[in-house]
Chains A and B, each alone.
Chain A
Amino acid sequence: MLPINRIGLRSFHNSVICRNSLFGEFTKRTDPVADFKPKEVTEVDSESDKKVRPKDDQDLQAFYRKEMEQKQISDAKFITPLKRELFQLNVDKNGFFKNHDIVTKDSKPYKISLTEKEIDILEPTIFLKSLRLKGSMKKATIVNRFVRGLNVKNAINQLHFNPKKMSTELEKLLKQGLEQSRELNMNEDKLYIQSLWVGSDGDWQKRLDPKGRGRMGMIRHRYVHLKCILKGDLTKKRLAYERQLKDSFKKPKMGLNNQPLNFSNVPFYKW
Chain B
Amino acid sequence: MNPSQGLLGSIWHHSIQSIRGLRYKASARKYPTVFVDDVVLDKPRYGFRKERQPLLSQSVTDSVFPAEEIRKLYIEQDKPVPIKFRSRSDKIARRNLEKYADEIASGEAHFKLGQKQVYLPKARIALLRSNAKHTPYQAKFLVPRNFNKLDLRDYLWHVYGLRALNITVQLLHAKFERSMTDMGRYRGPQYKKMTIDMEEPFVWPQLPAEAKSFSETIENQTDIIEIKNSLGSDKDKQTNAFDGLYKKPVLPNKFITKSFKQEAEKKMNKYNETVTLKSNKDLVNQFLGY
Which residues does A use to contact B, with CB under 8 Å? 6-18, 32-33, 36, 38-39, 44, 47-48, 51, 53-55, 60-61, 64-65, 67-69, 72-75, 77-80, 117, 120-121, 125-127, 129-132, 176, 180-181, 183-184, 201-203, 223, 225, 229
Given contacts A15-B104, A32-B201, A61-B249, contact A73 B256 (CB under 8 A): yes
Tell me, in angstroms, the Cα distance from A229 to B252 when the chains sit together: 11
15 of the cross-chain contacts (CB-CB < 8 Å) are: A10-B107, A13-B107, A13-B161, A16-B107, A17-B106, A48-B209, A54-B245, A55-B247, A65-B249, A68-B251, A78-B268, A129-B236, A132-B232, A180-B250, A229-B255
Contact status B248-A68, CB under 8 Å: yes
Contact status B209-A180, CB under 8 Å: no
Contact status B249-A64, CB under 8 Å: yes
Of the residues A33, A54, A72, contact of B203 by C-beta under 8 Å: A33
Q: How far is the CB of A133 from chain B (nearest CB, A)?
A: 8
Chain A residues closer than 8 Å to B179, beta-carbon distance: none
- The answer, yes or no, to whether B231 is at the interface (CB within 8 Å) is yes
- The answer, yes or no, to whether B228 is at the interface (CB within 8 Å) is no
Given contacts A131-B236, A132-B234, A203-B232, contact A9 B107 (CB under 8 A): yes
Q: How far is the CB of A117 from chain B (nearest CB, A)?
A: 5
In this complex, which of B107, B209, B251 has the most chain A Cβ atoms within 10 angstroms of its Cβ? Answer: B107
Given contacts A9-B108, A55-B244, A132-B230, contact A78 B249 (CB under 8 A): no
Of the residues A14, A60, A202, contact of B231 by C-beta under 8 Å: A202
In this complex, which of A51, A78, A229 has the most chain B Cβ atoms within 10 angstroms of its Cβ? Answer: A78
Which residues does B use to contact A, with CB under 8 Å? 104-109, 113, 136, 157-158, 161-163, 199-203, 206, 209-210, 230-234, 236-237, 242-245, 247-257, 260-261, 264-265, 267-268, 271
Tell me, in angstroms, the Cα distance from A99 to B78 when the chains sit together: 124
Chain B residues closer than 8 Å to A77, beta-carbon distance: 268
Of the residues B210, B231, B268, contact of A51 by C-beta under 8 Å: B210
Given contacts A68-B251, A78-B264, A131-B233, contact A14 B200 (CB under 8 A): yes
Given contacts A17-B107, A53-B244, contact A72 B253 (CB under 8 A): yes
Chain A residues closer than 8 Å to B236, beta-carbon distance: 129, 131
Tell me, in angstroms, the Cα distance from A18 to B105 when the chains sit together: 10
In this complex, which of B136, B264, B271 has the most chain A Cβ atoms within 10 angstroms of its Cβ? Answer: B264
Q: A9-B106, A33-B201, A120-B255 are in contact. List 5 more A-B contacts (CB 8 A).
A: A47-B209, A68-B251, A121-B256, A131-B233, A202-B231
- Closest residue on chain A to residue B265 by CB atoms: A78
Chain A residues closer than 8 Å to B200, beta-carbon distance: 14
Q: How far is the CB of A197 from chain B (nearest CB, A)?
A: 11
Tell me, in angstroms, the Cα distance from A18 to B233 when the chains sit together: 71
Chain A residues closer than 8 Å to B255, beta-carbon distance: 73, 120-121, 125, 127, 229
Tell me, in angstroms, the Cα distance from A180 to B250 when the chains sit together: 9
Q: How far is the CB of B150 from chain A (nearest CB, A)?
A: 14
Chain B residues closer than 8 Å to A8, beta-carbon distance: 108-109, 113, 157-158
Q: How far is the CB of B134 from chain A (nearest CB, A)?
A: 13
